[in-house]
Each structure stands twice: as C-alpha cells, then as structure tokens.
Amino acid sequence: MQIRHLARLLEARPTPAPSAPGSDTEPAARSHRIRSTVERLARVERVPVRVVHTDTEVRDGLHREQWVLDSPLRGEFRATLLSPEPEPAPRPGILVLGGKNARREQLTGEVVPDHPDRNMAEHLARAGFTTLTFEYALTGGLDQRRLAGRDEGTLLAHAFTLTGRSLLGALTGDALAVLELLRTHERVDGGRVGLFGHSLGAAVALHTALLTEGEPPLCAAGHLGSYACLYARQLTGFEGAVLPGILEHTDLPALYGALAPAPLQLQFGTCDPYLDADDARAAGRAVAETYAAAHAPAPEIRELPMGHGTDVGHAVDFFTRALAQPPSAPAGVPAQRVRFDVLERRAVADRVDAALRSGVLTQGPLVTRFEDLTRQWTGRPGAAVASGSAALEIALRVIGVRGRTVLVPANTFFATAAAAVRAGAARVGFVDLELDGLGMDPQALTAALDRHPDTAAVVPVHIGGIVAPALDGVLDQCRARGIPVLEDAAHAFGSTLGDRPAGGLGRFGAFSFFPTKVATSGEGGLLSCADTGDLDHVRRWRDHGKSAPGSTLHDRPGGNWRMSELHAAVGTVDLERFGRTLAARRDLAAHYDDLLASVPGARPHTMPGQVNSNYYKYLVYLDEATDRTLLKKRLRERHGIHLAGEVYDHLLCDHPFFAGRAEPGDHPRARWFARHHIALPLYPSLTHAEQVRVVCALRSELP
C-alpha cells in the first residue's frame, strides 16, 4: 500500500539544504536558512492592500472599524479593527488570526461565539490592545452543488498546489499585507505589534512572523507537534496549514525555534483531539532547546487541561509583558541591501538549471539575452564581459594606449586608472572635476591635453550616476583633437543627459554589474560600442584574443574576460525588473529631498538641468565644521545607520600606487568634494520609514 511509502518518507529526518561547511552550526545561521526555505516554499506575492471603505462606531466600550480591503491578488475582503475607548492614543497592536472555521464576527464578538475563547480579538481589545482581524474566505467561492459534501478549504489547498503555490502561502501573504496596515494605524504604536493565532491561524501567524521584519511576539495555540504525527498518525493536519515540501528541509518545532529571540508562547491542550499530547510535549521541548542554544529568553510552553482551544488569560498576560516596551534595539539601516524576491530567485534558479541541463555555461543564450536587455538603457549594442574593470581595459586595448598618456578624473575609483596601466599606458594624467555635475572640468582638461600632446584616450566618469552637462565640452575638445572618449559609466546604468543615455556619448561606454551597482549580475560588466567593428574587436579580446569565434588561432593577447551563463542568469532577471528599480530609486531620492529641506548642516547635491540620474549615490554636503568620520561612527553606533561609501574619499593621485607615477597636482575642486560629502543609504528595498530614521538620526548628530 502507498501508506507504507508515505510512512517511510515521513519518518525520515528532514535533510537541510546544502550550505557552506560549518555555516549551519550557529543558531543564527540555522534560523536564516529556515527563514529562507520558508520564503522560497511559501512563494508569497508581496503586494500592498488598501482600505477602500470604513464604517466606524463605538459600542460596548470598544472603538470598532469595519474595513473593506482591496487586494490585487484576491479582490475585496473584510477586516475589523478593535480598540479600547475612550483613549485614542497609540497602543500595542495584535494581528488576530483565527482557526479554519472561525468567523470574523465571532473573533471580534459581534456575534455570540460558539466557544468562550473564540472571540480572542475582543478579549485582547478589552485588555488594552488594538486588534485587527481579517477573513480568510475559505468557503463560498466554489459551486456548492458540485462540492458533493467535500471540504471547500481542502479543495482550495489542493488547487493551489497545481500552480506550484500553497494556500498557506496565500494566507501568509494576506497577513503580511494586513500587518502593515495595523503597524501604520493611528491607534497603534508601530514599534509594538504582535501576532496571535489559533490552529490554522497559528500556522499563518508563525509563517508571517518568519517572513516579517523585526521580532514580533507570537502566541500560537492548538498547533504544536511534528508534521509526521499531525499528517500521518493523527490524520488531523489541514492541507492549508503546511508548506509543500517543508519536510525536505525542516519540521514544525524548528520553524518555531527559528523565531528566536522573539518572545514566544505556545499553548496546547492535553485533551485536544487534533494533537497528540506526547508529540506536542516533545515538540515544545525541542523549541525550548533551540531558544536556549540561541541564548534567547525561554519560550513559554503552556501545557493546559483543555481541548482544541486557547487560554485567554495566558495569552493576555503574554502580550502584556512582551509588548510592554518597544524593542530595545530597532533594526538598523544598512548601507546596501541587495534583494531578489522569491519569484525572482526562482527565475534565476530556473535559468541556471537550463544552462546546466544544456551544458553551455559561458557565452550562451543567456549572455546574448543579457546584452539585448542592456541596449534599451545604453542605446547601443554591447558585449558582456567579466567585470567593469575588464570593460575599461578592453576598450583601452582596442583604442591602443600603449606607451602613451590616458587622462582620467582625479576623483574616481582606482580601477579607472589601473585599467590604463594594465593596458600599457606610459602614464596616467589626472584632471580636476567641476562641482555642478561632478564631471571632468573642460578647462582643466584643456590644460592637461596641452601638457600631454601624446594623449591616447580621455576617460570621463559619471560620478554617483550623474551624467554631467560639462561632458559636452569634454566631447567637443576630444573630437577636435581626434582623441577617443571612453565613458566610465560604472555608476550610471540607466542615467541620461537629456535623452542621451550614459555610455552612449563616447566611442565606448564601460559598465559594472557588481552587487553594489544599480543593476547586478553578481560579477560582470558591459562595453557598449558606437561602431560595430569595435564590437567585433571587443568580443575577440574578451575570449583570449581568438581570431574568430570558435577558432583555435589567436591574433592578440586577450584574456579570460567572458561573462558566464550563471552570472547572466542573475543579470537577466535583474535587468527585466530594472525599470521598476530605476523608478524606485528616483522616488526615494525625491523623498530624501523633501526630508532634508529643513535639516541645517546637510545640503543635498542639486542635480543640474537635463540630468536624469539613477541615484547610484544620494550625495549630501556637510558643513566645514562637521567631522565626517565622527559623524559616521555616531550614526552607526548610536542609531544603527550605516552610510554608503563616498565617491571617493581619496584622490587617485594620493594612492600609494601612483606615488612617483603621476604628475603632482592640487585638483582643488576634487579635493573639496572628496572631503565634504556623504552618501545616504539608497536602494529599492529601502522604505520611507527607514529614510525618516536616517534623516532623524542625521539631524540629531549634526553640530
């Protein structure tokens, strides 16, 4: 019988996903792995939910708001917010998630509950919390005549699996969206929000807690044990309360344990017909052991003489203690956060799988697709290469700079000048910048060209994603003298000067797709070319200088500067979302502009006319009296705010490598810029609330 096959699978120990040797021995690493697994299996589609209608009344000492919510995924559904009257001051909030058969009206006490503990939202509201409850809508959507007595929720759970998703993932997505509404409500202290769930609601609350930011307290009742017991021995597990494939990775007690150090209360009844008391007891011990290993406060495991219910008093006491104070250390704001959501990660994995299946692991169809996608943003064809540094060096080799001078800005990354050295340039000359667009100063360039009549190439850099209007003066001079221009557009993918894209103004445009850049392939670069003949040379240089594709003859000392299919898998997924990325960065920059308007001692860089920046960096100038190093230290240590790196804090002529290799120069404007700017965190996953934290912290630490 197939039950023997099932029993063998369920009795097998979960096999964690492969990880780096030793990386899963620490509790934090184990928790991260489990949370990542949950995110991957749940496939939650994170979309905002909005309130489209509200009815408000005060009845029986409670403020009641009846909401109609609209979700792009499930359409309209209802929710109820309860809060004590007459005090409208912000209070701790609790998202209340009932069991499979619980009705919203019962949870909120609007109708007489069928069990004394069913109206948990009302109990918690009368205890002083603001609660929010929404309907699952597991019934009423299918043709009742064709159900033939079958459970509608079970059929829904089965149908979701046909799409590669799960009902639990859908419910968790709803809960995450509704939780954000609760956190931002005027009657809720957004720093003190917890989750309560019973039975199916406990499963939803658990997975919501695993996928949300911070460490929200969780009280879960009637959902404890091992999946093997619940779904094979007891036969009481509901299909919608588990993620498909979870036992390949972990079990229910480990999911609870991954919440450490978040406050946790688990309740189970010794008379609960849906649980096995011994199994639940063992699971509780396993959760406690995981918390102890993480050096976290012990979870509360409440073994109670009750059936499939909730002890209201224990739940109220737990939240009263757990939400008495906001978290002592709010989550920090990192300088950079690279984020691919679960659907994007699956797309990358599918493309990697296709490459592995085909056996073509470099310069295959994914690299071609990557190159095609970049053309929308560069306006030109380009060749994908291993890095932005490789792109620079290849361009300079195609130009032919050996034994001659290459001019670069005094203020740029080391790779700009190092590429010229590797390409054989006899010397690198440094040119001062102009402070309007942070580009190469045309007048300083004139002087440098006069000093170096052997100049082979000029390499302007689009600092921070700004394509400077002064670039036209640079281009005019170089055109008049017959000198090729190589744009170092490592910062500027997607930026434009008017309608002219970065990387599309000179003979070449070199781009980087390093993880910190606005678009990434993990490691990678691109060289865009104005001339198709140049493009052919670039492709030969990147592949060891082969005289033709597939040839075993070589006509130049090329290098291994290819992009792999695996990197292109990441890059194509990132480029397919780049329009949204660019819009998000510009929206965040506009929000910073508004927030900083009233902050003395911090002046945002003003974008010149015609410049459409990608805001690779959001640049702010500090007053002369401000100690930048001390400011960054205080923001980091006192507020958890990590500023992005400067662009740049040292001029190239000051680097030890160029001591004695380059002409001395004061470069006063470049030096002033290097000393007086900071870069605030800015990336698509940054929230407006995090921006407020950054600016408030900055204001508090400025002189």
DSSP string, 255-314: HHHTTTTS-EEEEEETT-TTS-HHHHHHHHHHHHHHHHHTTPPPPEEEEES-SSS--HHH
Inter-CA distances, 226 with 253, 278, 352, 673, 701, Å = 7, 10, 34, 60, 51
C-alpha span between 268 and 598 (Å, rounded): 54
**Count of other CB atoms within 10 angstroms of residue 103:** 17
pLDDT digits (tens, 9 = 90+) for 263-285: 999 999 999 999 999 999 999 99
**For the chain, how many structural domains are there in total?**
3
Q: What is the average per-residue pLDDT within 305-320?
A: 96
Name residue 457's beta-bridge partners.
406
Please tell me the least confidently modeled range out of 54-58, 109-113, 475-479, 527-531: 109-113
Q: Considering the domain boundaries, does residue 146 fall inside one?
A: no
Judged by DSSP in three states, 219 sits in strand
SS3 assignment, position 457:
strand
Instruction: Give the CATH number for residue 613.
Output: 3.90.1150.10
Provide the pLDDT confidence category of residue 616 given band limits of 50, 70 and 90. Answer: very high
**Within this chain, do residues 291 and 355 fall inside the same structural domain, yes or no?**
no
Residue 8 in domain: no
475 and 456, same domain (yes or no):
yes
Provide the 3-class DSSP secondary structure of residue 62: strand
Q: Which of 557, 577, 597 is the last residue of a domain?
A: 577
The residue behind tokens 């929230």 is: 687
599 and 572, same structural domain?
Answer: no
Cβ-Cβ contacts under 8 Å for 433 (sequence gap 6 or more): 409, 410, 411, 439, 440, 441, 444, 463, 667, 669, 670, 673
Q: What is the mean pLDDT of residues 653-667?
A: 83
Helices (H), 508-654: 532-542, 565-576, 578-596, 628-639
Give the domain-ending residue among 577, 598, 620.
Answer: 577
> What is the three-class DSSP state of 499?
coil
Based on the fold, state whether residues 584 and 464 are members of the same structural domain: no
Give the span between the Cα atoms of 500 and 460, in whole angstroms.
16
How long is the chain? 703
The domain that holds 537 is classified in CATH as: 3.40.640.10
Asked if 572 and 591 sit in the same domain, the reply is no
From 577, 597, 622, give the residue that closes a domain. Answer: 577
Q: Secondary structure of the chain: what % helix, strand, coil (to 5)? A: 40, 20, 40
Percent of the chain with pLDDT over 70: 95
Name the residue range of residue 192's domain: 25-139+151-322
Residues 114 and 75 in one domain: yes
Please tell me whether residues 265 and 118 are part of one structural domain.
yes
For the stretch 316-338, pLDDT in tens is 999 999 999 876 556 689 999 99
Q: What is the mean pLDDT of the chain?
A: 92
Assess if residue 206 is contained within a domain. Answer: yes
Please, are residues 436 and 497 in contact by the beta-carbon 8 Å criterion?
no
509-549 per-position pLDDT tens digit: 999 999 999 999 999 999 999 999 999 999 999 999 888 88
Checking if the pLDDT of 683 tops 70, the result is yes
pLDDT one-digit tens code per residue, 111-159: 888 888 889 999 999 999 999 999 998 877 777 777 777 888 888 888 8
Tell me the two tokens of residue 60: 């029986």
